[in-house]
Structure 1
Amino acid sequence: MSSNSITSTAREHVFPLFVKYVSANVLGMIGYSCYILADTFFVARGIGSDAIAALNLVLPAFSLLNGTGLMIGMGAAARYSLSSGRADSEIHRTIFTQALQLAFVAMLFFFSIGLFFARPLCVLLGADGTTLPHAIPYIRILLMFSPLFLCNNLLNCFVRNDGEPRLSMTAMLVGSLTNIVLDYIFIYPMQLGMTGAALATATAPLVGMSILSMHFWKKKNQFHLVKTRIHLKTAIDICRLGVSSLVAELSSGIVILVFNMLTLKFSGTTGLAAYSILANIALVLVAIFTGIGQGIQPIVSSHPGKNGAPVRNQVRRYALSTALLMAFIAYLVVFVFAVPIADLFNKDKDPLLTSMAAEGMRIYFVSLFFSGINMVSATYLSASDQPVPGFIISILRGLVLILPIAFLLAALFGMTGIWLCLPVTEAIVCVVTFFFLRKF
């Protein structure tokens, strides 16, 4: 089903189309986020607390890598759908190739950092003598395998926009399952430690791309590689439309970086280990909202202008309602099962670690009710060709507000203030979000 058929179908059957795209993308993103969660579980159980602390320290670098892939993929796919009414136009014909060229530039950057600057990067992120031996091999391998992550993100976005959300979902889920299986094999029987965990994570996108390549063998495939050179104007346009996705991912990395420093200051390595459990669980829960946003993007982008406003508004209502429902279910599960969830990642059965992590979950994840609205709305606005308000929402929650609020609440309330930081920030941003939704 091409983006043109998305348009014609959505006018008559918005809700079935919404369910088709959103369900596939939510499941796919949950599977994709399990890359790191699987690492956390096996690293925690198979290597120990120093390794899990190291894993958490390098997560911001992975967020930047993943966010860059999403920015290029989501931005280019949005422009692809927005131009679908003129399928013979130059931009519609060449956007995939130009996005791939832009991704290649990003690949060179990340690959070079991983090859030459892995140790300085780990030190910059806060690794010390106990965590450096675990952090360096992990981040070096991830960054040197950046071509796989970036190409996988790009293909996922285009295949989804080209009418194949289920194929995109399948690729992400099978890739995640591969990661989990390889994590077990590399960490336990083969005893490869953090190197094994990184190799398992880096191999999964290759599996995903193998599945996505099936789309190219179908006659209904609408995007192809063509002979063209990258245009600066197009590259800027891709980044402009996708920047909210980058900022959303970066916000997770920035929050992790700041919280790493604060938890070390107030509670030492036990606090850092407790926060690392929350941070990795948050990757999966936030992936739900990312999936909703990615699911509505092809539908919203295929209905530009005043004529498409009724469909866009209807999709927005469905998306926000779904985000709130998923937030309620997720928070209920976390609240009730906080202690057993914390115990899963507590190899040494440290009661202080379990207590601290369980208490943190019940406060920290109140943020889900607000972050769901903020994340879905930012993607919706960008998909509607309104990237500026989408960017403002993302930058407020990811940088402008989160940093001063984190330091203020930590100074006033210690670890409780750290857990409160994200709910307070997301609630304030939610007010701004509703202002933009009313305006646009």
Structure 2
Amino acid sequence: MVKKSLFEFFRYTSLNVLGMIGLSCYILADTFFVSQGIGTDGLTALNLAIPIYSFIHGSGLMIGMGGATKYSILKSQEHHQGANKIFTHVLCLAGCFALIFVLIGIFLSGTIISLFVDQGHVFDMSKTYLQVILLFAPAFLLNNVLLCFVRNDGAPQLSMAAMLGGSFSNIILDYIFIFPCQMGIFGAVFATGLAPIISMIILSSHFLCKHNQFYIQKCQIQLGRIVGILSTGIPSLVTEVSSGVVMIVFNAIILRLTGNVGVSAYGVVANLSLVIMAIYTGITQGIQPLMSRDYGLNDWGNIQRILKYALITMLVLSAVIYACIFLEADVITQIFNSENNAELQTIASQGLKLYFIACPFAGFNIIVAMYLTSIEHPYPAQMISILRGFIIIIPMAFLLSQIAQMNGVWCSFPISELIVTTLGCVMMMKIRK
């Protein structure tokens, strides 16, 4: 039994970690190619618009993970009709969210960007990126939903292949659109928008070969089911959206402290953070189908084994990640510093070393939130996610930036995650009792 649990854990988590790293490279590829092809102004514009991507991606994960968790539990209990109704409700929710994002893209893109930067070259590039990414929101949302359901339908390999296929296509198209085609910032965002469409084309084999066990089922839309899906998925939303909100707050603080160069430096740190947090998210997406299935079967022993494997894996990866960042901070920064800006190099290198002290604490918080979600304890999971995403880190950023300037900004992330880890341990002990 232990060997089987360990095999399933590594099968699901390894595939999902690879897939999530690929998915996070949507934006990292934009950051690299924009820095090389457009320069510091392009990097600033990208960093001002990126938080909206976190809202779109987070909404897709909220709907997809919330629905897939419910689906997996019902499926393990042989309630196939109820599981199909969950899928139908998820598609309706995704359609509603997609419509909202598209309308914002059409009518409010300029208004949103004007809150952070005055009219000019950076404003125009930021507006273009934001508007196009919002118009592609239906593709991002549907892709996230299908990735979650295909993974919970026993096909984690295909889910990983779709995520990697979309990401690699984004990297290739980024290069083509920005350099040979000279399409500028529009080329970068257009490549990013096409990536989920390519991912869904890969996922379509699951349906064309009739391997899928979930279907659209004619049923009456019920408020209770919608609330249940959203409630279960909120931790996934908060995990993603909080990165966008924190980026907005940090951008505002850093603009005041060091101007556009500081925002560009933060862009290096924040975009690397997207990849590292994606590794932890990959672990949680790997354990979620297993824990939800075992919860439906009432197999608590296996649930605890999977949780232990996840935490050990997270700690080992965190140690490796931080060692690499600490030793190679200058090299990492230089990759994105195409203009050899000395101030950007100094700020970003120092930021990398301080900001990513948070790795083990953030990993613990993300895993525990998913563990609680998978066993239908959504409210403590929501509390952990909201505390780390908004309630603690935002006041901490303002406070520490007043005390220690840029070093205070960088340190606000690890200190906030440590506080939430302490609270999370207390919650876990109470729930276990």
> Into which bin does the TM-score normalised by the smaller protein fall?
over 0.9
- Corresponding position of 1:3: none
Check whether the contact 2:15–2:156 (CA below 8 A) recurs between aligned residues.
Answer: yes
Q: CA RMSD in A?
A: 1.4
Deviations 1:375-395 (A, max 9, x none): 111111101111111100000
Check if 1:92 corresponds to 2:83: yes
Note if 1:428 corresponds to 2:419: yes
Aligned to 1:188: 179
Letter of the 2:313 counterpart = T
Indicate the residue corresponding to 1:123 in structure 2. 114
**97 and 307 in structure 1: CA distance in 2 versus 1, 3 angstrom threshold:** closer
1:222 counterpart SS class? coil
2:71 matched to 1:80?
yes
Deviations 1:89-132 (A, max 9, x none): 54212111110111000010001111111111212354653421
Shift of 1:12: 6.5
Residue 16 of structure 2 aligns with which residue?
25
8 Å contact kept, 1:378–1:393: yes
For 1:85 and 1:31, locate their aligned partners in 2 and report how far apart those are by CA, in whole Å. 30
The alpha carbon displacement at 1:157 in A equals: 0.1
Deviations 1:287-306 (A, max 9, x none): 00000011000000011279
Contact 1:54–1:127 (8 Å) recurs in 2: no
Equivalent residue, structure 2, for 1:132: 123
Q: Structure 2 CA distance, aligned partners of 1:89 and 1:198? A: 40
Letter in 2 for 1:402: I
Work out which of the residue numbers 56, 62, 81 in structure 1 matches 2:53: 62
* Partner in structure 2 of residue 365 of structure 1: 356
Give the % identical residues: 44
Counterpart of 1:156 in structure 2: which amino acid? L
**1:376 matched residue in structure 2:** 367
1:317 aligns to 2:329 (yes or no): no
CA distance in structure 2 between the aligned counterparts of 1:278 and 1:36, rounded to whole angstroms: 13
For the structure 1 residues 306 and 90, does the alpha-carbon distance in structure 2 shift closer, same or farther, using more than 3 Å as the test?
Answer: closer
Is 2:404 the partner of 1:417?
Answer: no
Deviations 1:138-178 (A, max 9, x none): 11111111110000000000000011111000000011000
Which blocks of at least 5 consecutive residues in structure 2 are unaligned?
A: none
The equivalent position to 1:307 in structure 2, one of 292, 298, 301, is 298
TM-score, L = length of structure 1? 0.96
In the alignment, what sits opposite 1:201? 192
**For the residues of structure 2 that align with 1:108 and 1:120, how far apart are their CA atoms?**
19
What's 2:142 paired with?
Answer: 151
Instruction: Write out aligned runs for 1:29-44 (5 A).
Output: 29-44=20-35
Q: Does 1:244 align with 2:235?
A: yes
2-structure distance, mates of 1:226, 1:151: 17
Partner of 1:224: 215
TM-aligned CA deviation for residue 60 of structure 1? 1.5
User: In the alignment, does 2:133 pair up with 1:142?
Assistant: yes
For residues 348-369 of structure 1, give each alpha carbon's deviation from its aligned partner in whole angstroms, at most 9, with x where no partner exists.
Answer: 1011111111111000000111
Tell me, yes or no, if the aligned pair for 1:127 and 1:135 is still in contact at 8 Å: no
Closer, same or farther in 2 for the Cα pair 1:193/1:67, shift >3 Å? same
* Conserved 8 A contact 1:114-1:139: yes
Shift of 1:11: 7.4
Offset at residue 277 of structure 1 (A): 0.6
Q: Does 1:168 align with 2:155?
A: no
Letter in 2 for 1:318: Y
| C-alpha spacing 1:369/1:159, structure 2 compared with 1 (3 Å) | same
**Deviation of residue 224 (structure 1)?**
1.1
- 2:265 corresponds to 1:274: yes
Please give the alpha-carbon distance, in whole angstroms, between the structure 2 residues aligned to 1:342 and 1:127. 27
Secondary structure, counterpart of 1:13 in structure 2: helix
Query: Structure 2 length as normaliser, TM-score?
Result: 0.97
Corresponding pairs, count: 431
Query: For residues 288-303 of structure 1, what are the structure 2 equivalents within 5 Å?
Result: 288-303=279-294
How far, CA to CA, are the matches of 2:42 and 2:215 in structure 1? Answer: 43
Q: Which residue of the other structure, out of 304, 308, 322, is the alignment partner of 1:331?
A: 322
